[in-house]
Amino acid sequence: MSPRLDETRTHLNQDDAASTPPPAAPAPAPASTERPDSLSDLPEIPPYDEVGPLDARALSKTLFERLESLEEGTHEHAYVRNTLVELNLALVKFAASRFRTRSEPMEDIIQVGTIGLIKAIDRFELSRGVEFPTFAMPTIIGEIKRFFRDTSWSVRVPRRLQELRLDLAKAGDELAQQLDRSPTVAELAERLDITKEEVVEGMAASNAYTASSLDAQPEEDDSEGALADRIGYEDHGLEGIEYIESLKPLIASLPTRDRQILSLRFVANMTQSEIGDELGISQMHVSRLLSRTLVKLRKGLTVVE
């Protein structure tokens, strides 16, 4: 028996003991998990992980029949109840597998689902004529969903917005099937009989439901890399744009020949010798004019900044 199930059984026995009037003497230790002599007529149950679904269903029916005849709070009642919990844990694991893509550990999901299983066992009645798995699954799944609703938000938001998110998701799916497209804010507002502002508020709250790790790996069909690889980086070229905008009026105020030399040197990528041949002046003259122009622009840019 796993430590988690043993803790669950001990916890259930303590709950059963707490439901009876407290004795005058100190509370006794939790009841033994061994089969009481009064239940010797029950069939032998093999290890729980070796019981198949059909056998578990048949054994559960026998145990439920006996549970109804036992007084709550007795050792026998606790034994049968705990045995039903362990015998039907496969239902919890099956329900928890539907949520395996969530960020919460699977062990936590199973523990929460076990609470739903216990509630289903306490509420189940054979007289209803319903198989126990059919009766228990909605309770187990509901308990797990409640756990996600209350604890899985990356940022705590009011319960009103948590419930609005669920309503929007349900209405969105229904309208998408009817319209064969994603519904608009106005259509969602009309469907739920709320204002457009409330719809937008609910959509914004949905963004707080989960937070993805920057190192999370993409899905198999996702061509993008990790989220961190898609985050924008500092573009140093933006600083150059600022300088260009500041230089435009300074360059416009230069003499025509100085502007032409700048264009030939930095736009046409011509050498000083080629510029001299183009303008009919020496390379040294081009060098002096270019240096003088650049010094003037630097001073003007400093004044602008």
274, two tokens: 């080629």
- Is residue 62 scored above 50 in pLDDT? yes
191-205, 242-256, 282-296 — which is least confidently predicted? 242-256
pLDDT band (50, 70, 90) for residue 224: low
Q: What is the mean pLDDT of residues 227-254?
A: 72
Residues 197 and 250 in one domain: no
Q: Residue 47: its pLDDT value, please?
A: 62
Which residue has 């009841």 as its token pair? 31
Question: Considering the chain, what is the average pLDDT of its residues?
Answer: 76
Residue 90 lies in a domain: yes
One-letter amino acid for residue 76 of the chain:
E
Annotate 165-179 with b (16+ C-beta within 10 A) or e (fewer). beebeebbeebeeee
Residues 6 or more apart whose CB falls under 8 angstroms from that of 272 comprise 265, 283, 286, 287, 290
Number of domains in the chain: 3
pLDDT band (50, 70, 90) for residue 138: very high
First to last CA, the chain: 75
Residue 68 CA to residue 106 CA, distance in Å, equals 33
Residues 177 and 77 in one domain: no
CATH number at residue 293: 1.10.10.10
With 0-12 / 13-18 / 19 or more C-beta atoms within 10 angstroms meaning exposed / middle / buried, residue 121 is buried
Q: What is the mean pLDDT of residues 223-238?
A: 61
pLDDT band (50, 70, 90) for residue 20: very low
List the domain range (segments joined by +) for residue 300.
240-304
Residues 134 and 161 in one domain: no
Residues 6 or more apart whose CB falls under 8 angstroms from that of 248 comprise none
pLDDT band (50, 70, 90) for residue 1: very low
Q: What is the dihedral of CA 195, 197, 201, 202, to 10 degrees?
A: 30
Which residue has 């539907």 as its token pair? 98
22-31, 38-47, 198-207, 290-299 — which is least confidently predicted? 22-31
Residue bearing the bigger pLDDT, 76 or 34: 76
Q: What is the mean pLDDT of residues 205-219?
A: 61
Residues 6 or more apart whose CB falls under 8 angstroms from that of 218 comprise 224, 225, 226
Q: Residue 220: its pLDDT value, please?
A: 54
3-12, 76-85, 152-161, 175-184 — which is least confidently predicted? 3-12
Residue 201 CA to residue 178 CA, distance in Å, equals 24
Residue bearing the bigger pLDDT, 304 or 236: 236
Q: Are 199 and 184 in contact (CB under 8 A)?
A: no
Pick the last residue of a domain from 105, 132, 151.
Answer: 151
Residues 78 and 183 in one domain: no
- Is residue 140 scored above 90 in pLDDT? yes
